[in-house]
Chain A
Amino acid sequence: MIDDAASGSAPALEMRGITKRYPGVVANDHIDLDVRRGEIHALLGENGAGKTTLMNVLYGLARPDEGRILMDGREAQIAGPSDAIARGISMVHQHFMLVPVLSVAENVILGAETMSNRVFVDRREASRRIAALAGRFGFDLDPDVKVGSLSVGQQQRVEILKALYRDARILVLDEPTAVLTPGETEEIFALLRRLAADGRSIVFISHKLYEVLEVADRITVIRRGRVIGERKPSETTEEELAELMVGREVELTVDRGVSHVGAPVLRVEGLRVADDRHHEVVPDATFEIRAGEILGVAGVAGNGQDELVQALIGLRRSLGGKVTLMGRDVTGLSPRRLNEAGVGYVPGDRHRFGLILAFPVYDNLILTSYYRAPFAHGLLRDDSAILESAAAQVERFDIRTPSARAATSTLSGGNQQKVVVAREFDRELKLLILDQPTRGLDVGSIEFIHRQIIAKRDAGTAVLLVSAELDEIMEMSDRITVMYRGRMVADLDGRTADKNAVGLLMATGGQEVAATQKEASA
Chain B
Amino acid sequence: MSRPDTIQPRTVRARKAIVRAVVRSAQPVAEPLVAILLALLVGAVGITMFSGLLAGHSSFDIGLPAAAYLALLQGVASPNGFTSTLVYSTPLILAGLGVGLGFKAGLFNIGGRGQFLFGTVGAMAVASTVGVTQSSYITIPLALLAGALFGAAAGFIPGFLKATSGAHEVVTTIMLNYVFVFVTYWAISGPLVLPNAHQPITADVSDRNAALPIILGRDGNAGILLALVAVPIIWFLLYRTTLGFEIRSAGANADAARYGGMKTNRLIVLTMSIAGLMAGLAGATTLLGVVHQIAPGYDTTVGFDAITVALLGRSNPIGILFSGLLLGAMRAGSQSMQIQAGVPAELVDALQAIILVFLVVNALRRWLDRRAAKRGSTPSVGAEVAGSAEGVA
User: What is the interface of chain A, defined by CB distance below 8 A to chain B?
Assistant: 16-17, 23, 30, 32, 65-68, 95, 313, 315, 334-336, 339, 345, 347, 349, 351-360, 363, 367-368, 370-371, 376, 379-381, 383, 407
Contact = CB atoms under 8 A, between A and B. Distances in A.
18 contacts: A23-B24, A32-B1, A66-B8, A95-B373, A313-B259, A335-B258, A335-B261, A336-B260, A336-B261, A347-B259, A352-B255, A357-B252, A357-B253, A360-B391, A363-B390, A368-B259, A370-B242, A380-B240
B4 A16 contact: yes
A376 B391 contact: no
Contacts of B3: 17, 30
Interface string B235-261: 000001111110011001101111111
Interface string B1-39: 101101110000000100011001000000000000000
Nearest to A423: B260
B181 to A, nearest CB: 36
B259 A367 contact: yes
Contacts of B372: 95
B379 interface: yes
A355 B256 contact: yes
B241 A367 contact: no
Most buried by B among A334, A335, A353: A353
A68 B6 CA distance: 9
B261 A353 contact: no
Contacts of A336: 260-261
Contact of A359 (B7, B249, B376, B377): B249
B374 interface: yes
Given A356-B256, A359-B248, 11 more contacts: A65-B16, A315-B258, A315-B259, A335-B260, A349-B377, A356-B252, A359-B390, A367-B259, A376-B242, A381-B242, A381-B244
Given A17-B3, A352-B253, A407 B259 contact: no
A370 B252 contact: no
A32 B4 CA distance: 10
Contacts of A359: 248-249, 252, 390
A380 B259 contact: no
Contact of A353 (B242, B244, B252, B259): B259
Given A334-B261, A380-B240, A356 B4 contact: no
A30 B8 contact: no
Given A352-B377, A407-B391, A371 B4 contact: no
A-B interface, 9 closest residue pairs, ranked by CB to CB distance from nearest: A336-B261, A17-B4, A351-B377, A367-B260, A356-B253, A407-B391, A356-B252, A353-B259, A358-B390
B164 to A, nearest CB: 16
A463 B248 CA distance: 32
Contact of A380 (B4, B7, B241): B241
A383 B258 CA distance: 22
Given A352-B376, A370-B242, A370-B245, A23 B20 contact: yes
Contacts, number: 106
B388 interface: yes
Interface in B77-126: none
A360 B257 CA distance: 15
B389 interface: yes
A30 B4 contact: yes
Contacts of B374: 95, 351
A332 B375 CA distance: 30
Nearest to B236: A380
A383 B242 CA distance: 11
Given A32-B1, A95-B373, A367 B242 contact: no
Contacts of A355: 253, 256
A368 B261 contact: yes
A19 to B, nearest CB: 8
Contacts of A360: 390-391
Contacts of B257: 356
A352 B259 CA distance: 10
Nearest to A371: B242
B239 to A, nearest CB: 8
Nearest to A347: B259
A379 B240 CA distance: 9
Contacts of B252: 356-359
B124 to A, nearest CB: 33
A172 to B, nearest CB: 18
Contacts of B379: 358
Given A95-B373, A352-B376, A367 B256 contact: yes
A371 B261 CA distance: 10
Most buried by A among B6, B8, B375: B6
A121 B241 CA distance: 59
Contacts of A349: 376-377
A336 B257 CA distance: 11
Contact of A345 (B7, B259, B390): B259
A379 B256 contact: no
Contacts of B377: 349, 351-352, 357
A371 B242 CA distance: 6
A335 B256 CA distance: 11
A407 B253 CA distance: 14
A381 B246 CA distance: 11
Nearest to B383: A358
Contact of B259 (A16, A32, A335): A335
Given A367-B249, A367-B260, A368-B261, A358 B4 contact: no
A353 B8 contact: no
B1 A30 contact: yes
A353 B391 CA distance: 20
Contacts of B249: 356, 359, 367
Most buried by A among B3, B259, B379, B389: B259
Given A32-B1, A358-B388, A407-B391, A370 B260 contact: yes
Nearest to A339: B261
A313 B259 CA distance: 8
A68 B4 contact: yes
Contacts of B8: 65-66
A17 B6 contact: yes
Contacts of A357: 252-253, 377
Contacts of A356: 249, 252-253, 256-257
Given A30-B1, A358-B252, A358-B379, A379 B243 contact: yes
A66 B390 contact: no
Most buried by B among A30, A32, A357: A357
Contact of B389 (A347, A358, A367, A371): A358
B389 A407 contact: yes
Contacts of A380: 240-242
Contacts of A335: 258-261
A164 to B, nearest CB: 24
A66 B4 contact: yes
A412 to B, nearest CB: 15
Contacts of B261: 334-336, 339, 368, 371
A416 to B, nearest CB: 12
A379 B241 CA distance: 5
A368 B390 contact: no
Interface in B363-393: 372-377, 379, 388-391
Contacts of B258: 315, 335
A335 B261 CA distance: 5
A379 B24 CA distance: 32
B260 A381 contact: no
